[in-house]
Amino acid sequence: MVDLSGHSAEDRQFSSKRESQRNARYGGILFLIYLVVYAIFVGLNTFMPEIMDRVPFAGLNLAIVYGVGLIVFALILALVYSWLCRVSIPHSVEGDSKSATGKED
C-alpha cells in the first residue's frame, strides 16, 4: 500500500526503525553526559561535603545551587534531545546499501 507521499509501508517501517535507533543513540549519549554531571554532584557530597557548604551567591549554599542546576540541566538536555530527534531520516540515503528489507543489495 502506498501513502500520499508515495512511500510504501515497508519504507516507512524501515525509516522508523532507523530513526528509533538514532534517537536511542542520542538519548544514551545525553544520559551519559547527565550521569557524569550527577556523579560529580554525588561525589562532592560524599567525599568533600565542606565544599557544598560554600555560599557562592544570594545566601544559597553550593549544594542548593548545584541541585537546582541539575534540574535545569536536565530540562535543557530534554530540549536538546527533542531538537535532535525532530529531523526525519530520508527514505533514500546516499551510500546506504541496505534495502527496505534490511538485506544487502
The torsion of the CA quartet 22, 27, 28, 32, rounded to 10 degrees, works out to 140
Where does the pLDDT of residue 66 fall: very low under 50, low under 70, confident under 90, or very high at 90 and above? very high
How far is 88 from 82, CA to CA, in rounded Å?
A: 12
Check residue 36 and give its pLDDT.
98
Q: Is 100 a residue whose pLDDT tops 80?
A: no
Q: Which long-range contacts (CB under 8 A, 24 or more apart) does 86-93 make?
A: 88/15, 88/19, 89/15, 89/18, 89/19, 89/22, 90/15, 91/7, 91/11, 91/14, 91/15
* Cα of 71 vs its chain's centroid, Å: 15
Check residue 105 and give its pLDDT.
46
Grid coordinates representing 19 are 530513526
DSSP string of 28-53, one letter each residue = HHHHHHHHHHHHHHHHHHHH-HHHHT
Where does the pLDDT of residue 87 fall: very low under 50, low under 70, confident under 90, or very high at 90 and above? confident
Report pTM.
0.68
Grid coordinates representing 82 are 527533542
Check residue 16 and give its pLDDT.
81
Q: What is the pLDDT of residues 5-57, one digit of tens each?
A: 555 555 555 568 888 899 999 999 999 999 999 999 999 999 999 999 999 88
Q: Is 2 a residue whose pLDDT tops 80?
A: no
